[in-house]
Amino acid sequence: MNADRISSLRKEWEAEEKIAHIHGWDFSHIHDRYDEEEDLPWDYKTEIDKYLLPDMKLMDFDTGGGEFLLSLGHPYKNTAATEGFPPNVELCKETLLPLGIDFKPCDNESDIPFADNSFDIMINRHGSFDPVEAHRLLKTGGLFITQQVGARNDRDLVEMVLPGTPEPFPELELSIQKKKFEEAGFEIIRAEEAFRPIRFYDVGAFVWFARIIEWEFPDFSVEKCFDKLLKMQDIIDKEGFVEGTIHRYLIVAKKK
């Protein structure tokens, strides 16, 4: 790789690094530049739709910007949500409250500001949760439906740029979480995990991604990882993409 191309790539990647931010949970900036979750053995929305009826009380904990929640089309009067990340809290106030959704800021999964036995279904996609608190909030027979990012998510990509970085959440294994739900008084209806590819078609998209997912890629920067990013570029030049592995799991748990 000649010096001019190396210089051009550095500028391109530094530009991606500079603009890396997120509004809600919106990855549209790298749409068509990477792929993930295209072939999970379940569809999270479909799983929720199997159980959700219009008259049920639904709550989404860690709703992000409310994008997924709104995609369910559930009656607003029967919908509640929480979010703890300050920029997303403001976004939810602007988008969810005017619709009549009962939105409350909350950044503590063990102290959620709703009454006991309030909900028929609680959902949580890629957020934090506490099975004991979920058990308190759900009605008897109520369901907690969650899709989670597992402990081994993106580990091969992390090793490419930050070798030796420890797993940020080693307890996020299906076997561990199933046991926590059972100990909290739930019956497990469905529990499944999957490892699937994630592909980046240009290194700039990966740079943006790594800066956004800072808990997986701590202290990542173009300057610190530049030589390793060049190796990643070599892979893309030869293969058309660089590939890692995502770790996902699904739990559907019923309050006894």
Burial label, 65 (beta-carbon count in 10 A; 0-12, 13-18, 19+)? buried
pLDDT in tens, 29-87: 999 999 998 899 999 999 999 999 999 999 999 999 999 999 999 999 999 999 998 98
The residue ranges of every structural domain in the chain are 3-255
What's the rounded Cα separation, in Å, for the pair 132 and 219?
Answer: 34
Query: What's the predicted TM-score (pTM) here?
Result: 0.89
Query: Residue type for 81, please?
Result: A
Examine the pLDDT at 24 and tell me if it is beyond 80.
no
* Fold of the 3-255 domain: Rossmann fold (3.40.50)
pLDDT in tens, 138-176: 999 999 999 999 999 999 999 999 999 999 999 999 999
